[in-house]
Amino acid sequence: MNKLVTTIVTGGMLLFGTAAFALTLDEARATIDKEAMERKLDAKDRSQATATLRRLVDKGVPVEHAFRVVDAAINQGMNGRDLAEVAGSIESTGPGARKDAAAAAADAIHHRYTAHETVQMMNAFGKTVAAGAPAEGTSWVMSRGIDKGTGATRITAAMHAYSREIRSGTPPDKAAANADRAMDRDKTRQQDRDMSRDRDRTSGGSGMDHGSGPGAGAGPGMGGSRR
């Protein structure tokens, strides 16, 4: 598991730039303010972005992690109010989990999950950790779901399943791997359902397009629309 988590952290450094990891709070704040101006955020949202950065740091989130959350939010066009809600959900995960929670939240925002979806996942993150699951492992499960493009609701379910397995005595590494495989199975089932639905639509359309002659499509089950 540690190797898997290390891979994610290393990937994050490459993704957001190693320079972010050497920033002081003042440097991070100046960079955020500059980016907010370049993105033409209004004064209220600019102020909220720098205030959120300071707020997260004051709550024990390392500067580089707080910077990545706010930086990702600005680049994805998130407004100040939504960013504040995300920050609040990170704080609610608890003092010992905020670093890992912030890393996962930044990952979610960068991958275009909405503020609502990110808050939803952070709330599940906090509950999972409060139930005794390691914050590092919870972050790994969440990030794996994000990398797969899994929906926020399914990622939330995977984190809860991870927590339940640990409470039942499953080693954290195995519980995380099981949650990862469950998300793969869910994604495969969803793809199968989508393909089946597309086939049904195509089949229904063909019945209408090729029907001809008197009474075509008039009788029960004869190509009539079922919508």
The conformational region for residue 220 under phi > 0 = left, psi -120 to 50 = alpha, else beta, is beta
Q: How far apart are CA 176 and CA 162, in angstroms?
A: 6
Question: Going residue by residue through the chain (227 aa), what tens digit of pLDDT does each one get?
Answer: 444 444 444 344 434 443 444 689 999 999 999 999 999 889 999 999 999 999 999 999 999 999 999 999 999 999 999 999 999 999 999 999 999 999 999 999 999 999 999 999 999 999 999 999 999 999 999 999 999 999 999 999 999 999 999 999 999 999 999 999 999 987 777 666 767 777 777 776 544 444 444 444 444 443 444 33
Tell me the CB-side half-sphere exposure of residue 214, using CA atoms within 13 A: 0
